[in-house]
Amino acid sequence: MSRIFLILNEKVTELLHFVSNLNRRIKYSIILFTDLILLVFCFFCALILRLNDPFPIQWFFKSLNVLFLMLGCVTLFFFAFKLHLKKISSFNISSSYSVVGMATIVTLISFILNNYFQLGAPRTVPLITGVLFFIAMIFSRVFANRLIQMLILSSSDRKAVAIYGAGSAGTQLVSTLMNSTFYKPVLFIDENPYLQGLDISGLRVYNPSCLKDFVKEGKVEEVLLAMPSLKASLRKRVGEQLEDIDCKVLEVPVYEEIIKSGDLLSSLREINPVELLGRNNVKIELTENSTIYKGANVLVSGAGGSIGSELCRMIVKVNPKRLLVFEMSEFSLYNIEKELKFLTDEKGIELIPVLGSVCDDSLMKALFKRYEIDVVLHAAAYKHVPLVECNILEGIKNNVFGTKVIAEAAMNSGVKNFTLISTDKAVRPTSVMGATKRLAEIILQNLHEEGSGDCVFSMVRFGNVLGSSGSVIPLFKQQIELGGPVVVTHQNITRYFMTINEAAQLVLVASSYAEGGDVFVLDMGEPVKIIELARRMIEMSGFTVRDKDNPDGDIEIKIGQLRPGEKLYEELLIDENILKTPHAKIMRAEESKLSSKKMASALKKLETAITNQDAKVAKEILFEINRDCNNL
């Protein structure tokens, strides 16, 4: 018997799938045809009621003129009242208003014309028909709606989900899931004691402490977090509550994202550990800085990278005259140019993609002269610590001499603002990458000291950018998807984190605060322990950590070794001297500089080492410069 039920269920599900995939024209043709059949039936029933005759065949044929009139009116007003656009699976009270309107108009027209032109039907038959037809249309749609929901609910493929949050977002989500073929809402979870024990939208509300048992018993397979406007501190607490739950957690995003995606279900996304780092995102409004970019000719080097591309997106919003996207990678340049093209064309901004290297002196001079650049955002750099450690000469050539070339070209071409994208690894560097970035900073500081004319040089220094290429989050995510292990290079390693959006905002605002030779840093809160971040990512992906306390866990965290040049912790400041800026979360650092004479001598030695392809000597010179600067 159970086998017959399963086969029947499969066939019904296939039929439902077939009907749902029909062409829209076919669907509303079926609905219209059904309504017309119902009208004929209601007309016949009206004659029975009016004449008290169970078989009023003679009167039926006498009244065909009125019936045809009503059929024509229904067909016309079916489209006029947009009943073909009312989805049966979402039929509700607001949808019934259109049905009431159509039935009323059809009834009045047929009643008036029948009596005025003596069309043959008893006077009250159109009125009785209208009432019966209204009831039949409502009943048929409600019945079809319930049948569809019943078939969906009987689907064995639906995942049982708990909705965390019994507020407006939660009830809206339940309403949407009732018509979903993927999720089956079974209960609410909410911290509010006044809601616990109540039935909301047909689901019981439970305390969060009950969730773990529901998951163990198999009653809940996934959790949907329906709290889109939750503050960071509360989000962290909820995240901690869900850490011990052995199932995947998805969240409903803010309403702006739902609107953008066009569908609530498609906008559901896995919880991002970025949002559980314990602080709110730093918001820096661009209105005060837009005058720097508005109507200006802006060049972004490294425009295809994570930071460079976000800078380009933000700059387009403040309407520059011309935007040069400069990139060494052809594929990256193609992607960012393709993405920006529509926006720039719409706003009348000239978009110029330029393929090349910042080390090319003649190219840089030609670009600045030809396009009369006003603002430069220099994001082009080799930034991956282990790779630069293996390619010392290329790292120095690009990060140090590339910065020198583009900065001098900018200074000699009348550029007003030049901002370097730097890193916290430039503070007392232990890696070649960090040392090259610190030397790039010193070059700009020296150009300012020597007299940079009208060009204001500044540097922006920040920590790890979440989601950027090569950052720890995508790496851990990839390792989790492969089943582990997740490799953390040291038990106690910590890092500062910020989002790509925060990083780009900081770069843009720095230009407006710069006075020349400034180093700006962002207050990013407390550093995050990487091993805890790895643990949280594993658990929020629906897995458990395999360790000595849980040998049957899903994914292991392995402790590796610090990579060459890698620190246990990062710093943002070399000296303790910091100055305030107009923004509470942005600080300006005052740091020591090398003399122009020492700097010129050191750069000459580095050039010689690069010419001789002597990586060992180049590395020694690089760190000697940094030691001299730190000892000042």
333 and 432 belong to one structural domain: yes
Same domain, 168 and 134: no
Q: What is the pLDDT of residues 441-493, one digit of tens each?
A: 889 988 888 776 788 888 888 766 665 565 677 777 778 777 778 888 777 77
Q: What is the DSSP string of 363-423?
A: HHHHHHHHHT--EEEE------HHHHHH-HHHHHIIIIIHHHHHHHHHHTTT-SEEEEEEE
Q: How far apart are CA 352 and CA 322, in angstroms?
A: 8
Query: Within a domain: residue 533?
Result: no
Structural tokens at position 139: 């009943």
- Are residue 142 and residue 13 in the same domain, yes or no? yes
CB 531 within 8 A of CB 605: no
* pLDDT exceeds 50 at position 574: no
* Cβ proximity of 234 and 173 under 8 Å: no
Both tokens of residue 113?
């014309």
**Of the given ranges (138-152, 192-206, 325-339, 603-617), which has the lowest mean pLDDT?**
138-152
Residue 77 near residue 133, CB atoms below 8 Å: no
Contact 437, 426 (CB under 8 A): yes
% residues pLDDT > 90 (the chain): 22
Q: Is residue 170 located within the same domain as residue 134?
A: no
Tens-digit pLDDT profile for residues 358-368: 999 999 999 99
Phi-psi region of 455 (alpha: psi -120 to 50; beta: other; left: phi over 0): beta
Q: Say whether both 295 and 235 belong to one domain.
A: no
Same domain, 328 and 247: no
Number of structural domains (the chain) is: 3
What pLDDT digit, counting tens, does each position of 157-182 carry?
A: 678 888 888 887 788 778 777 666 67
Residues 192, 246: one domain?
Answer: yes
What is the secondary structure of 448-499 as a DSSP string? HHHH-TT-EEEEEEE-EEETSTT-HHHHHHHHHHTT-PEEES-TT-EE-EEE
Q: Which of 9-13, 172-176, 606-610, 615-619 has the lowest mean pLDDT?
A: 9-13
Same domain, 245 and 301: no
Query: Which candidate, 570, 454, 590, places its Cα nearest to that of 518?
Result: 590
Rounded-to-integer distance, Cα 181 and Cα 152, Å: 6
Name the domain boundary from 271, 306, 321.
Answer: 271
Please indicate, yes or no, if residue 318 is contained in any of the structural domains.
yes
Q: Which CATH number goes with the domain that contains 406?
A: 3.40.50.720
CB of 163 closer than 8 Å to CB of 28: no
pTM greater than 0.85: no
Q: Which helix (H) or strand (E) holds 97?
A: helix 93-117
pLDDT at position 262, please? 40
Query: Is 494:529 a contact under the CB 8 Å cutoff?
Result: yes
**Which residues, listed in sequence order, are joined to residue 275 by a DSSP beta bridge?**
none
- Whether the pLDDT of residue 188 is over 70: the answer is yes
Pair (233, 361) in one structural domain = no
Q: Does 476 reside within a domain?
A: no
